[in-house]
Structure 1
Amino acid sequence: MSILEDILRVTTSQDANKDYSVLPSDFEAPLGVDQVDSVLLYQLVENPSLGQPAIRYLKDCFQRIQQQKRLSKKVSQDLGLLQEMDRLVVGYGLVIFQVEEFTQGENNFITYIKDVVRSIDDYTDFFNNLILRAIKEDSLFEFVNNFFGSLRLYVTSLKLFDLNDSSVYTSVLTCFEMFVSHKPVAAIFTQIDGFFASHDIKPNEFEKSTLLGPILTLSPLNPNVALRNYGDNLERTQQQTNMVHESLQAEHKVVLERLFFIIDKIVRGSAESRNGLLTYFAHIVNKNHLRRGDHANSNKLASNAFVTNITLLLVRFSQPFLDISYTKLDKIDVNYFNNLNLFIDLSQETRMNSDFKEADEFYDRNKKSEDCRPNFISDCFFLTLTYLHYGLGGTVLYDEKITPQLKRMKQEIDRIKRAAQSQDMFARFAAMQLPSLEKTLQITRSLKQALQGFFSHRELQLEIFDFVSGASTFLIRVIDPNHEYPFKQIKLPLIPDQVGVENVDNAEYLRENAPIPFKYYPEYILEGLINYSQYITKYVMSPLFRNTRLHSFIELATVVLRCPELVSNPHLKGKLVQVLSIGALPMRDDSPGFMMDVFENNELVRSHLLYALLDFYVIVEKTGSSSQFYDKFNSRYSISIVLEEVYKIPEYRNQIIWQANNNADFFVRFVARMLNDLTFLLDEGLSNLAEVHNIQNELENRARGLQPRREENDQELQSKLVAAERQARSSCGLAEKSIILFDIFTKDIPRAFVTPEIVDRLAGMLDYNLGSLVGPKCGELKVKDPQKYSFDPKSLLKYLSTVYINLSDEPEFISAVARDGRSFHKSMFDRAIHILGTRTGLASDEFCCKLMQFARDAEDQRIAEEEEDLEMGDAPDEFLDPLMFTIMKDPVILPASKVTIDRSTIKAHLLSDSTDPFNRMPLKLEDVIPNVELKQRIEDYKSAKKQRKIED
């Protein structure tokens, strides 16, 4: 048997091994080198009993040739034959991938692909030689195009292609790796048929109809993978669930490394392949903006698995130029959006602080030439930011949506099961839907757990937050007028502070003074960073914990909050302060919050965070939405948490005291907002607690068979009870933080709370709520499980009483309490002292004595002022303030309405509303006109009254 026959598995003998094909009689023995081509052609085209795909036959021949090369001792005699066979076997390997009809029977491209995928390790050497030959013979594109066209068809024909079948997806990834490892292949890869999708493709079709789509969807977030790994036993222990998490995390990590290898080779292949890949990624994200929509149908959009993987790959590409050294940060073009033919579609994007028209005009005036294309670093960076918002950000939003969906599905299934026990025809029909609903519930639960596993993968999340940190530093660089940050510190504020309530409404002034080009950046650039950071903090393995790069994000938050001209959207700032509040909260072991070290030791943050928080506390009064009245409370709750914690740091405490003493107008605005909120929240919270108390009593009485006292039926009462409980819980929780701030601030800076525009409202609020807690109706606040509503009446009473004591040395406060004819009663203080000192022991004897002395001082003042009021009772109407009906001390004329009002009254009004209260026209305090003549007449009237009293 000759080497040729042994390698090609052919013979001219009729008595040969059954595994060898008998050649027709026109092949004469002995077979020589000049017959190799004819033999191969016969085997591939004419032999009816070849018994295997042509590609496998050629691969086996190739392997035998290589083995024979290693074993052969007759080098000079056999080398020429082996080399010719090698050349022809590899050549025919290319031919059969160029002409699908070349071989006989069922030998076609799909058949070859199936065999290759089934035994990829056996094919590696053979295919590497095919690729090298194709490169040499200039037939590479046709070979690669046919191979991957067939591979794409094969993969999409599979019922499942995901992490559940590791043997298939591993082989497919190996095929990609094998080809793109050759730079000439990588250089033309984006030209392959099926790499790009048609322009009008639907958003959810990329992952099935494009070449990279299936492999980019290999993720634990795939619904089939989630169901397979989490759906079989949803009652497993947390430890068992964590084991599943860890297994999938490890597998996903390996897959991502292999995907990055493939994508990296394409990026490095050629300028054309690099731009093609970015175009492909951009097309996907441009089609999927609805992933951040509130009411989008996720089934009609790209899957979480697909776009999240792309996000992670882009994040990894961004790592080299966002490392902690920032040596390549200046390679990112701050004027990137001035370029022509951007990959990213900005046509419908809201800007940081400009409208569409203004942004378009700016870009039209400043567009770069066609020759000035952005570098890859800039393209990659801004595309990653886009994916962080619409890709990973859409996944975050999906998780936030399915949590309440799961609850509703469970309730609906339970309701149907209960109803099915009846004989009602509709109920039995509804029960027929149970299997489908339970299947949906199982899938959704599995996806929820898969998302938890993904987001608790700290190694992956650290990579994402490293990008967030680097991007935060870059955005401060854009904001910096000189674009020199972080190598030179940014100087804040960027524009002079406007102290005055008009700043709340002065959007045009802020917009005109916003920095360029930052004001024209799309809002999602910042929103993606904030949304991710806000969401990921809820995980125990959050990348924000114990992270040396956390300071970068906090610096950006400080800059954005400190400079109101940067971002027009208050909801983004609200999310920022929420993240900061989470970082400020003490840890479970009572150690300082994980951001506190940065708050205390970072110079930029330490110098500007406090003012930023106080200013935003005021500005958030108006969010521009229909729900703005309630929006502000959540933001102020978060700010209150941060203020309470940083107040423990001496430098922050000194800053607050300085602001109160040296920037009084600014600080009084803040105090006025605190007072407004606390007044409303306490009233709302206590009113709803009374409603909860009344409904609970009513339901208990009905359960005992007593006659109903209310008109509502039981179902209506239950509905009202839920609503009242929800509102009580919210209002009391928010009020608790506000009263704590009042407690700590009034101790150190009491003068800030007794200004004429505030002190009467503060006294009235305290007196009213003191009466609610200890007065005749306090029994209505007794509810079951008060802690459920963040309501501790004794603690609240102690806080309120502490504020009285903190301000007890201020004559203005004593007078204001005394003037409160509606709610001030000395007996209320007697009752409070009894509860705090005798019944509960919450207050010391010293505390009770101070509170008692204050009550006496206020009562004495009340009696004195009553006598004075009687004396002044016949004052002319023109001397009385039109809103407060008290004699004016400093009358001023309002320029628009011409109404005369006391300066303290209009000043208090302008703290909340920058308009004339009589005609709603815009008004600034500096525009009011002192009514000197009327002031003199009032003073003369008072002097005459006092003189008459002396004479009497």
Structure 2
Amino acid sequence: MHRLYFKSKLELVTNCAWTKSGSNSSTGSKTTTSDGGNGENASSSIVFLDALEKEIANEKKERGGEKEEENDEVDEINEEFADRVLISRLSLSLSSSSSLGGAGGGGGGGGGEQRRNEHQLNQKSKFRYLLETFHRADEELRKSTLAQFANERDAKDKFDLLMQEVKKLCVSYGGLVLNPDEEIRGTREEPGMFPISEWEEEYGVNEFSYRLYTGEMSQMYLDAFCKKFGEEEPDLLDAIFLHERQWTFTREKSLPTEPFLVHGMSILADFDPFLRAMFMLAANPIAAARLIKHPLWMPKNRNAQIFPTLPPHVMMIPNFNANARTSDGYVLGKDFEECSILGPLFALSPMYSRVPVMNMLSQRREPNVFPALFPSVDLGSKDLKVSVRERDNAHATIWMHMARVYEGLHAILKTLLKHGGPTRDGVLKWIFLNLHVNKKRSQQEQQLSWFENCSDGYFVNFCETMLRLSLPFTDVLNGKGKHLPKIKAEYTLSKSCGITDYKDCTRLGMTESEAEQCYNSGEFELEEGGDANASSWGFVCECFFATHRAMHLGIIACINAQEERQRHTIRRYAERVNELEEEIQSLPGNDPRRHEFVVQLGQLRMKKDAYIQQTMLCDATLMDPRVVSDSFAFYRLTCVWLLNEARSGGGDQTSPAIPTTTTTQLPDEASKAFRAIPEEIVEDTLDYLVYVMCTKSSSHSLIENEILTEVVDFLVLFSGASEHIKNPYLRCKFVSVIHSFLPDYSGSDKLGRVMFETNASAFQFLIPNLLKLFADAEQAVGPYEKFNVRKEIGDICEYLWAIPEYRNGWKIFSETKWRFYAKFVDMLINDAVHSLGEAMEKLPQIREREALMGDEAQWNQLTDEQRDDHESRYESSERELRSDLFFAKQNIEMMAYTSKEIATPFLRPEIIKRVADMLNYFLSHLAGPERRKLKVKNPEKYKFDPKELLTKIVTVYLNLYKNESIINEGADKMDTGAEKTLAEAISEDGRSYKDEVFTMAIDVLSKHFLLSPTEIEIFQKLQKAAKKAADDAVDLEADLGEIPDEFQDPLMCTLMKDPVIVPITKNVCDRATIERHLLSNETCPFSRQPLKVEDLKSDVELKRRIEEWVMEQKKRAKKSYYNVRS
């Protein structure tokens, strides 16, 4: 009974029969199909083994005694017989095969059965047959129970042993049929042990990866295959796994059936089998070890199957070098993406490339993502609109598909890394080589070359994979801060640093020569006795910096390119399209240029549409909630690490450093290790924070739920850390990030409160650091950057002034750092004078051009070139005017709200004259006779409100005048020396002060109810005081007569009131004059050598002589006056 059961199961598993009775007579079951199902759905019949039947019969005859009709039965179904069955099945040729037919009977079978068998063998190779047999045997093993053998343990054990042997044989013969050595495997003309079909010859050894990708090979078979040949025949395993065509997602020849190119797949295609297959390889340590040894793991040659010839337009690119390689001989960016084993998997993305020529390849991926997800978008239309619903649906679809890509790629690399040893090192080298062969990806789009850089989609996937590898040490807030000490800044200047491009990078506080000296000296190398490999630094350290470099080349580069596209590129193409359309419309129908222009217009529209698609798909990819969450968590870790590194001072960090909330400022000096940190790490952190805050997307909800204490500490403390971050442009970026948290810009009140209203460090250090940056921007950055950063500082300060904690801290800072604050006020005045002065000059110019353009007769007399010139200048003046008025208004508003409670700095001797001159100048333009020249059409277009400006100017007058008593009380404390009242300073302005201008201003303020009657009354008192001071000054000048040279200030030629000695040159100047000079220029005006206020020495003797001389002159003038009267 058991013999018959064994026979039926072996027939079922091997899909073969060797007796005419077949499986039907043995078990009463239906005909078994090739896939283990039953005959009702059969696609092919059980194969009848004629040769084996004859062998069995002959063996029986040789032993003798059996009847002829029983000669086809075997004595015992055991492991040896199973081997004979498999050999007989694998030895079948197309011409000698026969089938077991239910109705046809006989060994030879009918012609129809013969053809069906031939089709079956043609479609199923021997290796595929072995895989199916292996899986059927495994299925029988799992279903085997003791009850099936009448509880006979021996019978069950024999059956299990039989199935185990079948599995082993399938593995053994699998290696034989795949052996790439033709002497063993043979060819179609000269077959080896088994015949070879056309299909098998065309696939060759590549069939192993093909069956893996199609899902026909299980993890169990792969493990068994690797274990057997890895232990017994490692050379054969190497020959199969390291074959040049293995794992390339292609086959030797292009076949019409079953095309299998992942290169042509988009994320809407079925790419999961490829990810699953690669994960299966990664999961097996033997396969993984050979995978990283494959020539295409880190390729040095272009895959001719992918790029047999280069497109002609590529060959015409200037300076194009198709054979470009790294110094180690590895292929660069695009070749690495297309030719490496993992490259095509990492290229699965909806994003197009930043290089236009590469988009031609990207858009060949099917199904095409953009038209599939944005079906209603008409790219040719001038007014492109996408509904919120369609956009959200498209984004959700992209995120869903990309989640599978991210999960698959992360699982592959993580599994490979877990094997450790050479496999782990091979993965790290692959990661570092990815960074090196794409080192130019951070360049601007116009500078990118095709083959030197992989696609954006590839590198965004690479970034997300690296971010996920970093997750185990990213969350420092949930007990994982112990990993922070493992991240060492010294790694970036070590000779064992895997990121070779860090060697020549810009660093936070080191010059190029200092970094080179440190590198060559080996100062930052590991201690002697450590492992010489790069892995000695530890995976956490290497992964942290590799992820940073990946983000720099990937997501950050895409963000910068996206900003450039949205701000300039698309708009520029749209303008060119409009101009060309107008040009075509203006041409007569028979103009020969018309056809040429139409062709150019079509090309421009295609480029514009490509950029629009690129932008929309890039937005969808970068705003993926998981990508945003992982990126933000990583950069939050960076903030914590940088704070920890700065506070440690380069000391021992072997103990866990769990971040804690602190309100301590950073050390005055930065450690050498901190100064060695690549500048791009800080810059990328800031760029990403700005991007997330300015997108105003669902990413805000993700960030709002995060703990941002460390991020705020990082922004606040480093914004004023000039010793830690030498680059002023970089420190100005801190302002942009802080500015992005303002509710008016972020759109999130919650984020604004977290940033500004709950953080102790911000309460204590934010205002001082912002004002220091305001001052540092004067000399450190260019004019555009200076006004931009000061504009953002102005916005932040205006917001903070309304919060009592900041307002009180601001007051304390102005008192304790009064000398610096005076410098800040001086710069504020400079900006206001420059901005509003420029605006006052442009307004009359715009008024004149508006009058000219409005006079049709005069306008028509001008030539086309003259009209174009006027229009161009008019548009330029409008842009500049809007900018000037904005900055002027912001600066005056800051003076208005701060001077109400912080008036002392404005009325210091070195400042008060400048304040008065500024106020008088603006008052004369806004309220005096000159104001008529400022009238323009549509002032709202420039946000020009002269009444509002006048009110702010007068408010500053009033604030200072009302607080003058407080100023005098604080004079002794600040050691300011001689005093000058506001009224006196106003009256001394010989350029702009006129009493009648004050009168006109009062009339305007009263007429339009711009100030209350009480405020107007106070302003009238100031007018009278200024008038009296002016009259007194005239009298004093007459009384003093000619001033002796030794009493005159050499810079201003005025009488000195508080003479001081300049120690460098021994010149004597008035204190107010020289200190006013030093506010903006800390050099000696006579020698240009460095000079500080502290260096000045009071000339007490000269001051006494001046005072005596003044008193003497007044007495003499008074005596002369009475003599005249008498």
2:474 to 313, 317, 322: 322
1:335 to 470, 479, 490: 490
Residue 530 of structure 1 and its aligned partner are, at CA, apart by 1.0
Q: Give the whole-Å Cα distance in 1 for the aligned partners of 2:905 and 2:745.
A: 32
1:92 to 145, 169, 173: 173
Does the aligned pair in 1 maintain the 2:262–2:344 contact within 8 Å? no
- Aligned partner of residue 670 in structure 2, secondary structure: coil
Number of the residue aligned with 2:569: 405
2:621 to 419, 432, 454: 454
Residue 708 of structure 1 and its aligned partner are, at CA, apart by 6.1
Number of the residue aligned with 2:815: 661
Q: 1:835 to 1:899 in 2, by over 3 A?
A: same
Deviations 1:406-446 (A, max 9, x none): 11111112222222231454453232133332222222101
Residue 553 of structure 1 and its aligned partner are, at CA, apart by 1.7
Q: How many residues matched?
A: 930
Q: Give the whole-Å Cα distance in 1 for the aligned partners of 2:720 and 2:374.
A: 48
Q: Give the whole-Å Cα distance in 2 for the aligned partners of 1:779 and 1:230.
A: 58
1:831 to 996, 1000, 1011: 1000
State yes or no: 1:693 paired with 2:693.
no
Does the aligned pair in 2 maintain the 1:469–1:549 contact within 8 Å? no
Summarize the alignment of residues 851-890 of structure 1 with structure 2, pairs less than 5 Å apart.
851-890=1019-1058
Q: 1:693 to 1:313 in 2, by over 3 A?
A: farther
Deviations 1:685-735 (A, max 9, x none): 333333333323322224x66576999712112211222122122222222
Summarize the alignment of residues 198-217 of structure 1 with structure 2, pairs less than 5 Å apart.
198=300, 199-200=328-329, 201-217=331-347
1:307 to 444, 448, 459: 459
Residue 168 of structure 1 and its aligned partner are, at CA, apart by 3.8
- Aligned partner of residue 1069 in structure 2, secondary structure: strand
Does the aligned pair in 2 maintain the 1:186–1:273 contact within 8 Å? yes
Summarize the alignment of residues 702-781 of structure 1 with structure 2, pairs less than 5 Å apart.
702=856, 713-781=866-934
Paired letter, 2:830: N
**What's the TM-score once normalised by structure 2's chain length?**
0.77
Q: 1:812 to 1:935 in 2, by over 3 A?
A: same
Deviates more, 1:635-644 or 1:87-96: 87-96
2:601 to 434, 437, 444: 434
Number of the residue aligned with 2:395: 245
Paired letter, 2:907: V
1:35 to 84, 90, 93: 84
Number of the residue aligned with 1:579: 737
- Aligned partner of residue 921 in structure 1, secondary structure: coil
Give the RMSD, CA atoms, in angstroms.
Answer: 3.2
Q: 1:830 to 1:92 in 2, by over 3 A?
A: farther
2:581 to 395, 413, 417: 417
- Aligned partner of residue 280 in structure 1, secondary structure: helix
Summarize the alignment of residues 233-382 of structure 1 with structure 2, pairs less than 5 Å apart.
233-234=377-378, 235-294=385-444, 295-297=446-448, 299=450, 300-323=452-475, 324=477, 325=479, 326-337=481-492, 339-345=494-500, 346-363=502-519, 364=521, 365-368=523-526, 369=528, 371-372=530-531, 373-382=536-545
Number of the residue aligned with 1:116: 211
Number of the residue aligned with 2:1071: 903
Tell me which structure has the larger Cα radius of gyration.
Answer: 2
Number of the residue aligned with 1:104: 197
Number of the residue aligned with 1:142: 238
Q: 1:166 to 1:869 in 2, by over 3 A?
A: same
Q: Give the whole-Å Cα distance in 1 for the aligned partners of 2:82 and 2:721.
A: 83
Q: Give the whole-Å Cα distance in 2 for the aligned partners of 1:454 and 1:470.
A: 23
Which blocks of at least 5 consecutive residues in structure 2 are unaligned? 1-6, 23-30, 32-43, 57-71, 75-80, 98-117, 150-154, 186-195, 255-259, 301-327, 353-361, 379-384, 965-979, 1122-1126
**What's the TM-score once normalised by structure 1's chain length?**
0.90
Query: Percent identity among equivalent residues?
Result: 25
Residue 573 of structure 1 and its aligned partner are, at CA, apart by 0.9
State yes or no: 1:65 paired with 2:218.
no
1:388 to 551, 557, 560: 551
- Aligned partner of residue 291 in structure 1, secondary structure: coil
Summarize the alignment of residues 140-219 of structure 1 with structure 2, pairs less than 5 Å apart.
141-142=237-238, 145-146=241-242, 149-154=245-250, 161=263, 164=266, 166-198=268-300, 199-200=328-329, 201-219=331-349
Q: 1:195 to 1:159 in 2, by over 3 A?
A: closer
2:829 to 651, 654, 675: 675
Residue 24 of structure 1 and its aligned partner are, at CA, apart by 5.8
Does the aligned pair in 1 maintain the 2:374–2:390 contact within 8 Å? no
Does the aligned pair in 2 maintain the 1:587–1:594 contact within 8 Å? no
Does the aligned pair in 2 maintain the 1:10–1:23 contact within 8 Å? yes
Number of the residue aligned with 2:152: none
Residue 175 of structure 1 and its aligned partner are, at CA, apart by 0.4
Does the aligned pair in 1 maintain the 2:374–2:394 contact within 8 Å? no
Deviates more, 1:59-68 or 1:212-221: 59-68
Q: 1:689 to 1:709 in 2, by over 3 A?
A: farther
Q: 1:34 to 1:529 in 2, by over 3 A?
A: closer
2:122 to 29, 51, 55: 51
State yes or no: 1:800 paired with 2:953.
yes
State yes or no: 1:821 paired with 2:980.
no
Q: 1:755 to 1:226 in 2, by over 3 A?
A: farther
Q: Give the whole-Å Cα distance in 2 for the aligned partners of 1:462 and 1:155.
A: 40
Q: Give the whole-Å Cα distance in 1 for the aligned partners of 2:210 and 2:679.
A: 50
Does the aligned pair in 1 maintain the 2:670–2:724 contact within 8 Å? yes
Number of the residue aligned with 1:531: 687
- Aligned partner of residue 807 in structure 1, secondary structure: helix
Q: Give the whole-Å Cα distance in 2 for the aligned partners of 1:564 and 1:217.
A: 41
Paired letter, 1:33: A
1:635 to 789, 800, 807: 789
Residue 464 of structure 1 and its aligned partner are, at CA, apart by 0.9
Residue 311 of structure 1 and its aligned partner are, at CA, apart by 1.5
Does the aligned pair in 1 maintain the 2:704–2:750 contact within 8 Å? no
Deviations 1:461-506 (A, max 9, x none): 122111111111111111112568655676854556xxxxxxxxxx
Q: Give the whole-Å Cα distance in 1 for the aligned partners of 2:418 and 2:577.
A: 53
Larger relative contact order, structure 1 or 2 (CA cutoff 8 Å, min sep 6): 1
Q: Give the whole-Å Cα distance in 1 for the aligned partners of 2:84 and 2:10.
A: 9
Which blocks of at least 5 consecutive residues in structure 1 are unaligned? 497-512
Residue 652 of structure 1 and its aligned partner are, at CA, apart by 1.9
Does the aligned pair in 2 maintain the 1:693–1:780 contact within 8 Å? yes
Summarize the alignment of residues 581-596 of structure 1 with structure 2, pairs less than 5 Å apart.
581-586=739-744, 592=749, 594-596=751-753
Deviates more, 1:369-378 or 1:486-495: 486-495
Paired letter, 2:804: P
Q: Give the whole-Å Cα distance in 1 for the aligned partners of 2:90 and 2:464.
A: 48
State yes or no: 1:517 paired with 2:673.
yes
Paired letter, 2:55: E
Number of the residue aligned with 2:776: 619
Number of the residue aligned with 2:638: 471
Q: Give the whole-Å Cα distance in 1 for the aligned partners of 2:262 and 2:1004.
A: 70
Q: Give the whole-Å Cα distance in 2 for the aligned partners of 1:67 and 1:148.
A: 34
